[in-house]
Amino acid sequence: MNRQDYVRLSLELHLFFDRIMKEHSFFLGAAFTEKDESLKRVSYDFQQAFAGILENVISLANGNVSKEFLSAGEIVTNHTLEAENQTSSLSGIPINTKITEQELRLQSGNINANDQLINSISNINKRTLPTIQNLIQFKNDILNEVLSCKMYTTNYPLLIEHILNEAKMYHTLLSKIENREPFTQNYIYEQEIFWNNIMKEHAEFIRGLLDPTEKELILTADRYAEEYEIIMRSYGNNPVSLTNASLQETINFRNFKITGEEGILSCKIRSIIIPLLADHVVREANHFIRILRSANPNQSKTTY
């Protein structure tokens, strides 16, 4: 991995996943009962920790990330700021929206991978890895408590497992980058398997969080869950066919999510989906779409 790729991949990974981890911490904290008030505080501490890392990354990212990354809609969307404001108002939990405003102003450029920038990024990477590991342990402890009927939370057990797996993926990718290991085409294929399953679970969560009266939307979400299962089962051993099928399916599913988010923000859809979660799953679909498009052999940029 050359110096430019190390800089770009590190910053892009943080910009996507630090926000995801920050929001996971929010979702966990908002779902605890009064009995687990201490865990609410731990969740808030994680939210603040990842927000701090993200602010440090943003200060280095301007001009050092790719145009493809910034235009993908995976760190912010047109609705992120509104979703954060609505979510903070509904929950009473503060969200630092200045981070979103800063991200909206980020620009791509020619990466100047000087020693100072390399050292700053390496310090962030090394500081972030144990923070991710601590969050993994926190999520794992919560999951075990829920599965042993020692804790009640309004989050599905599968959702806790889902966000646990995403944290593990972040840790794996960041470790790989910090060790300067190249990302091979086979690794992109492994990412496709991972994110197809994430998309399937998104469909299942959406289905379960919609109000029972939203019958048409429930049926649509259920269909997407079934279609992702078919894709993984039918094309799992054929990388080219898997990529083509996954890309079209995820573009369609992403568009469904955007329509759903707009309906939630305008209070036209009945659900218990908090606005920030609706935006969160759109960004993850955009992230996956960029990975799938990068699998094109004519694509010049290295991705993860």
Instruction: Indicate whether 275 and 130 sit together in one domain.
Output: no
Boundary-marking domain end, from 177, 193, 218:
177
Instruction: Indicate whether 46 and 146 sit together in one domain.
Output: yes
Picking from 158, 154, 147, the residue whose alpha carbon sits closest to that of residue 225 is: 158
pLDDT digits (tens, 9 = 90+) for 102-124: 999 999 988 989 999 999 999 99
Give the domain range for residue 263.
183-304
Please check whether residue 286 is in contact with residue 77, taking contact to mean a CB–CB distance below 8 angstroms: yes
Boundary-marking domain end, from 141, 162, 177:
177
Instruction: Indicate whether 150 and 58 sit together in one domain.
Output: yes
Boundary-marking domain end, from 177, 200, 221:
177
Instruction: Indicate whether 258 and 298 sit together in one domain.
Output: yes
Instruction: Give the number of domains in the chain.
Output: 2
Average pLDDT, the chain: 93
C-alpha gyration radius of the chain: 19
Is residue 218 situated within a structural domain?
Answer: yes
Longest dimension (CA), the chain: 58
Instruction: Indicate whether 166 and 191 sit together in one domain.
Output: no
pLDDT band of 294, cuts 50, 70, 90: confident
Distance between CA atoms of residues 275 and 87, nearest Å: 6
Percent of the chain with pLDDT over 70: 96
Is residue 221 situated within a structural domain?
Answer: yes
Is residue 80 situated within a structural domain?
Answer: no
Instruction: Indicate whether 197 and 299 sit together in one domain.
Output: yes
Contacts of residue 5, Cβ cutoff 8 Å, sequence gap at least 6: 302
pLDDT digits (tens, 9 = 90+) for 128-161: 999 999 999 999 999 999 999 999 999 999 999 9
Instruction: Indicate whether 47 and 134 sit together in one domain.
Output: yes
Task: Answer whether residue 301 shows pLDDT above 60.
Answer: no
Instruction: Indicate whether 166 and 275 sit together in one domain.
Output: no
Percent of the chain with pLDDT over 90: 86
Task: Answer whether residue 236 shows pLDDT above 70.
Answer: no
Which CATH number belongs to the domain containing residue 220 in this structure?
Answer: 1.20.1260.120
3 state SS of 114: coil
Instruction: Indicate whether 41 and 167 sit together in one domain.
Output: yes
Is residue 26 situated within a structural domain?
Answer: yes
Picking from 195, 59, 60, 51, the residue whose alpha carbon sits closest to that of residue 131 is: 51
Q: What is the mean pLDDT of residues 229-235?
A: 88
Task: Answer whether residue 304 shows pLDDT above 70.
Answer: no
Instruction: Indicate whether 155 and 289 sit together in one domain.
Output: no
Is residue 253 situated within a structural domain?
Answer: yes
Is residue 290 situated within a structural domain?
Answer: yes
The DSSP 8-state label assigned to residue 2 in this structure reads: -
Is residue 89 situated within a structural domain?
Answer: no
Instruction: Indicate whether 228 and 287 sit together in one domain.
Output: yes
The pLDDT assigned to 296 comes to 65
120 is written with which tokens?
């700053």
How many of the other CB atoms lie within 10 Å of CB of 123?
A: 11
Write b or e for each residue in 170-188: b if 16 or more Cβ atoms lie within 10 A of its Cβ, otherwise e.
Answer: bbebbebbbeeeebeeeeb
3 state SS of 272: coil
pTM metric for this prediction: 0.93
Q: What is the mean pLDDT of residues 176-205?
A: 90
pLDDT digits (tens, 9 = 90+) for 65-90: 999 999 999 999 999 999 999 999 99
Instruction: Indicate whether 188 and 239 sit together in one domain.
Output: yes
Is residue 74 situated within a structural domain?
Answer: no
